[in-house]
Structure 1
Amino acid sequence: MNAVHEPWAVAADTQVLRFITAGSVDDGKSTLIGRLLFDSKGVFADQLEAISRSKYKRVQADEPDLALLTDGLEAEREQGITIDVAYRYFATPRRKFIVADAPGHEQYTRNMVTGASTAQAAIILIDASRARDGKLLAQTRRHSALAALLGIRHIVVAVNKMDLIDWEQGAFERIRASYADLAAKLGIDEFHIVPISALKGDNVVQPSASTPWYEGPPLLTLLEELPIADQALHGPARFFVQWVIRHGGDSKDDFRGYAGQVASGTLRAGDEIKVLPSGIAARVARLISFDRDVEEARAGDSITLVLDRDVDVSRGDLIAPADDDLRIASAFEAEVCWLDQQALNPARQYWLKQGTRLTKARIRGVHSRRDIHELQHADSAESLEMNDIGRISLSTRDALALDSYASVGATGAFILIDTATHQTAAAGMIL
């Protein structure tokens, strides 16, 4: 397949930024991603030809409907909305990008949580034609609250469809002021804001002559310059055991190993570790990669770990540094986004999945529910409905090794699964 343009050369060691686009319905999220793909020369000729022939095309004349590059489901194209999270890849000479297009409809907020869970940055789109008076839509507020809750460090506000209001600077400043107020309430210390037209391409990849009053960089330049600090690489070592391996059978060099992926930090041969929640101490004897021993394994590496002595280790156990003071508990509080159509029911039993550990859990109480309009926690909440964000207390059958989500995302996050329907009921962050 031939690309529309000659692709830009990308260095092999270029950093990768994962970001998500979020906002309300029809704010132009899919069109923006399509514009980034098109203008960064990441669209193949046959893809462009296919969307130009689509019966769901919604733009005039011979212009391509760039939203169709991400809205691939038949129902999405038919209704002109995004339903499921779509992941796309593109690159520039300075950086590689993995972008998730999140749905704007309230009923698909749970999909936004999925896409945002691995994102380092979030682009919150605002339709300037609907917010020119500075009033932000509820879903914009909800997605911003979720981005803050999930600890996304970089928030970029893209004020889209500025061409529909003749690039009115006053409207842009009112939107900026409203979002600054929202950010302060959510605890977002810093955000960037850019006036754009995703459909026309103004201030997306190239600066726009329509905004002489805007002194910042175009959106893509801003994304290229965002600092990336991988918290997982610099955090404390965390290794969830996924599989216990007995290698070699009865041969003299047989061993028992523990396979999994390093979720955070670095493990090295010779490290003193402990197995949690039991607390048994041991030393790392070997780290085995695919076909060889390695001296160290970092966050994201899949390895087999061999200890210097036989200890009782099972799937779901957590291996951490021996001197690490993790909290071991079977009762704790957490902030959750309720994802199931069935409301939270304290009488029901749920599976709790943290890393590779799966255990039964009960919800002992709902302490508060976040009012998405006032952005305050309303006390005396009795339950949580789909897309509600609230604070709950839980108890689990087995003790868990707990980090706060803010410090170590791998051990501070979990999901709840309904034991009867097997639906994912909630995404949780340990406080």
Structure 2
Amino acid sequence: TIRHAFIASLLQIPHVVVCINKMDLVDFNEERYHEITQQFLNMATKLDVKDIRFIPISALKGDNIVKRSQNMHWYEGPTLMWLLETIYISSDINYIDARFPVQYIIRPQSKEFHDYRGYAGRVASGVFRKGDKVKILPGGFSSIIKSIDTFEASHESAYAQQSVCITLEDDIDISRGDMIVKENNVPTISQDVEMMFCWFNEKPLQLKGKYILRHTTNEVKCMVNEIRYKVDMTDLHRKEDDKEIKMNDIGRLSLRLQKPIFYDSYRKNRNTGSVILVDEATNETVAAGMIV
């Protein structure tokens, strides 16, 4: 439970529902329910979770799953299903920092579209509109959005999570892995990255080891510069003296990249703040990371 709660905090999941299951085994006792919730809240003081809800349930008997329990009249909160269907999540999406990682360049081989040059991808965050002044990274060239197209039609705007093709007023050399952003709202550009990570591989993390970092539509070779600390899952304390990272360990490290990437902190923008590490030799995914 501690590990799962810490991972939820690490992933910046804004709403956490803690279901206290098997209430039927304690005869639906209210005191026992409050004891468990208090234990969790004491542990949660070390986490960064904004919204925690508790629901007493019996999955076996269906209490408080879809219908309200007839055995726990003392509980006045919602059922699990009602909460999952009504919890407000629109405010969790970043509509401010406009980021468009370029995935593919579209150049139709036809006379009708002989001069068409579009940049296809998925809007990672924010909003783009026709006429917006934008900057292309890493080159830093500026331009204006000429059109926003999909297979069905042209659009006046594109929002976070939409897959579109953007054309620009200027003919700029753009390739996969580049990023289109608003001119007055640019992400961090750096060859040094600090991140929290969860290690997936049976082979331990190698200090000064070489890996491939995959970020949005970009990938770059990197080296582990320093292991800052490992998190002790029994009490969530930092173990700065223990630098041996094995499977399922969580910690913090710094990377040195072969070339700069453009990113936001994970706290600010999940899509441009998340990465994976890949073993250069085996092509195995060895870790997931959240940039700090």
SS at match of 2:45: helix
Residue 325 of structure 1 is matched in structure 2 by 186
Q: Which amino acid aligns with 2:61?
A: K
CA RMSD, 1 decimal: 1.5
- The 5 A counterparts of 1:52-131 are none
In 2, the alpha carbon distance for the partners of 1:310 and 1:376 equals 53
Q: Is the deviation greater in 186-195 or in 384-393?
A: 186-195
Residue 264 of structure 1 is matched in structure 2 by 125
Distance 1:320 1:246, change over 3 A: same
Map Cα deviations across residues 329-383 of structure 1 (whole Å, 9 max, x no partner).
Answer: 0002111111111111124311111011011111111001111111122213323
In 2, the alpha carbon distance for the partners of 1:291 and 1:204 equals 41
1:405 alignment partner, one of 266, 269, 292: 266
The answer to whether the 8 A contact 2:95-2:159 is kept is: no
1:294 alignment partner, one of 155, 159, 167: 155
The answer to whether the 8 A contact 2:15-2:50 is kept is: no
In 2, the alpha carbon distance for the partners of 1:180 and 1:233 equals 28
Q: Percent of aligned pairs with the same residue?
A: 39
The 4+ residue runs of structure 1 with deviation greater than 4 A are 248-253
Q: Which amino acid aligns with 2:37?
A: R
Alpha-carbon distance, 1:187 to partner: 2.7
Residue 279 of structure 2 is matched in structure 1 by 418
Residue 184 of structure 1 is matched in structure 2 by 45
Q: Which amino acid aligns with 1:191?
A: I
Map Cα deviations across residues 188-214 of structure 1 (whole Å, 9 max, x no partner).
Answer: 243111111011101111111211222
Alpha-carbon distance, 1:230 to partner: 5.0
Q: Is the deviation greater in 252-261 or in 351-360?
A: 252-261
Distance 1:251 1:166, change over 3 A: closer
Map Cα deviations across residues 64-83 of structure 1 (whole Å, 9 max, x no partner).
Answer: xxxxxxxxxxxxxxxxxxxx
Residue 380 of structure 1 is matched in structure 2 by 241
Residue 58 of structure 2 is matched in structure 1 by 197
In 2, the alpha carbon distance for the partners of 1:221 and 1:250 equals 55
In 1, the alpha carbon distance for the partners of 2:195 and 2:134 equals 27
Bigger proportion of residues as helix: 1
Instruction: State the TM-score, normalizing by the size of structure 2.
Output: 0.95
The answer to whether the 8 A contact 1:366-1:381 is kept is: no
In 2, the alpha carbon distance for the partners of 1:252 and 1:355 equals 29
Residue 35 of structure 2 is matched in structure 1 by 174
Alpha-carbon distance, 1:218 to partner: 1.6
Q: Which amino acid aligns with 1:296?
A: S
Given the alignment of the two structures, is residue 162 of structure 1 paired with residue 4 of structure 2, yes or no?
no
The answer to whether the 8 A contact 2:101-2:122 is kept is: yes
Residue 309 of structure 1 is matched in structure 2 by 170
In 1, the alpha carbon distance for the partners of 2:218 and 2:13 equals 25
Given the alignment of the two structures, is residue 218 of structure 1 paired with residue 218 of structure 2, yes or no?
no
Alpha-carbon distance, 1:224 to partner: 2.6
Q: Which amino acid aligns with 1:205?
A: V
SS at match of 1:385: coil
Residue 135 of structure 2 is matched in structure 1 by 274
Alpha-carbon distance, 1:292 to partner: 2.2
1:234 alignment partner, one of 95, 103, 121: 95
The answer to whether the 8 A contact 2:197-2:252 is kept is: yes
- The 5 A counterparts of 1:32-43 are none
SS at match of 2:93: helix
The answer to whether the 8 A contact 1:247-1:257 is kept is: no
The answer to whether the 8 A contact 1:417-1:426 is kept is: yes
SS at match of 1:285: strand
Residue 396 of structure 1 is matched in structure 2 by 257
In 2, the alpha carbon distance for the partners of 1:351 and 1:230 equals 33
SS at match of 1:383: coil
Q: Which amino acid aligns with 1:153?
A: P
The answer to whether the 8 A contact 2:33-2:56 is kept is: yes
The answer to whether the 8 A contact 1:364-1:392 is kept is: yes
Q: For structure 2, which runs of at least 5 residues remain unmatched after alignment? A: none
Residue 152 of structure 1 is matched in structure 2 by 13
SS at match of 1:236: coil
Bigger proportion of residues as strand: 2
Q: Which amino acid aligns with 2:11?
A: L
The answer to whether the 8 A contact 1:330-1:399 is kept is: yes
Given the alignment of the two structures, is residue 354 of structure 1 paired with residue 215 of structure 2, yes or no?
yes
Residue 106 of structure 2 is matched in structure 1 by 245
Residue 254 of structure 1 is matched in structure 2 by 115
Q: Which amino acid aligns with 2:256?
A: S
The answer to whether the 8 A contact 1:248-1:255 is kept is: no
Given the alignment of the two structures, is residue 207 of structure 1 paired with residue 53 of structure 2, yes or no?
no
Alpha-carbon distance, 1:237 to partner: 1.0
Alpha-carbon distance, 1:234 to partner: 1.7
Q: For structure 1, which runs of at least 5 residues remain unmatched after alignment? A: 1-139
Q: Between Structure 1 and Structure 2, how many residues are aligned?
A: 292
Q: Which amino acid aligns with 2:21?
A: N
Q: Which amino acid aligns with 2:234?
A: H
In 1, the alpha carbon distance for the partners of 2:47 and 2:79 equals 26
